[in-house]
């Protein structure tokens, strides 16, 4: 089965290149630390809550005019040279992977018009992310997380101190017209890109969206939007 691969909004099919078959993608694993205590058998296992990066291979082939073979492969290499990018597979088109980088293997040319090559995909965290989870939602719409704990982005407009509460955990933000809080990167900034981490009082982790029912509120008088970044294994 041919699988169309999209990287940063560009479809492989637009370059006449396809995955030869659906790649075998490993399930994301939580990062764990083993703690050795002298005098005690075995080890204590500490789960940090973060996920390890993963690797998987995709074998591609493409077809085109013989006289355009090398030019076409040059365009394909440029397409695959993206780093910290999004990858979507056509048979699971509602989700994307965060890809750190892609290693391209040697090109094989079984005929003048056909090329075959293998790539190794290195993910950021091994998880897959819901495309619709990248949309902005009103804070009142976020009342349940059916996926894994997520690290959302909050976009606040207003003036003064805005208190955001997630299931009883609170963070205060000193907002001057606008403020964006990125809980994954643990930064706060204005729409013009000016960093404003000092506007935050509290822990970014308090604004994560845990699995299950949610109660997310904000001080009245502020317009608060959430990009939930829904994700799963």
Please tell me the pTM assigned to this model.
Answer: 0.89
For 69-150, list the strands marked E by DSSP.
85-89, 95-108, 114-130, 137-138, 144-145
- Of the chain, the percentage scoring pLDDT greater than 90 comes to 83
Tell me: pLDDT of 36 over 90: no
Tell me: pLDDT of 162 over 70: yes
115 contacts 204 by C-beta, under 8 angstroms: no
Q: 103-108: long-range contacts at Cβ-Cβ below 8 A with a sequence spacing of 24 or more?
A: 104/77, 104/80, 107/73
CA distance 143 to 214: 5
pLDDT one-digit tens code per residue, 129-153 = 999 999 999 999 999 999 999 999 9
- Of the chain, the percentage scoring pLDDT greater than 70 comes to 100
pLDDT value for 44: 78
Which whole number is the average pLDDT over 98-108? 95
């Amino acid at each position: 089965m041919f699988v169309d691969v999209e990287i940063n909004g560009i479809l492989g099919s637009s370059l006449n290149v396809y995955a030869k078959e659906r790649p075998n993608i490993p399930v994301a694993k939580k990062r764990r630390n083993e703690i050795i205590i002298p005098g005690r058998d075995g080890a204590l296992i500490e789960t940090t809550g973060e996920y390890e990066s993963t690797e998987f291979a995709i074998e591609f082939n493409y077809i085109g005019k013989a006289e355009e073979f090398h030019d076409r492969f040059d365009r394909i290499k440029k397409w695959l040279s993206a780093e910290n990018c999004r990858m979507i597979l056509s048979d699971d088109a509602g989700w994307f992977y965060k890809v750190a980088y892609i290693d391209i293997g040697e090109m094989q040319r079984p005929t003048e018009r056909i090329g075959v090559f293998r790539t190794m995909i290195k993910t950021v965290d091994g998880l897959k992310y819901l495309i619709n989870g990248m949309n902005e939602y009103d804070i009142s719409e976020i009342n349940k997380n059916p996926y894994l704990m997520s690290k959302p982005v909050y976009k606040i407009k207003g003036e003064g101190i805005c208190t955001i509460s997630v299931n009883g955990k609170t963070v205060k933000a000193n907002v001057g017209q606008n403020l964006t809080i990125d809980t994954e990167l643990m930064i706060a900034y204005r729409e013009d890109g000016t960093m404003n981490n000092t506007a935050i009082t509290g822990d970014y982790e308090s604004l994560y969206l845990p699995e299950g029912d949610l109660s997310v509120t904000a001080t009245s008088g502020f317009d608060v939007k959430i990009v939930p970044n829904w994700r799963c294994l």
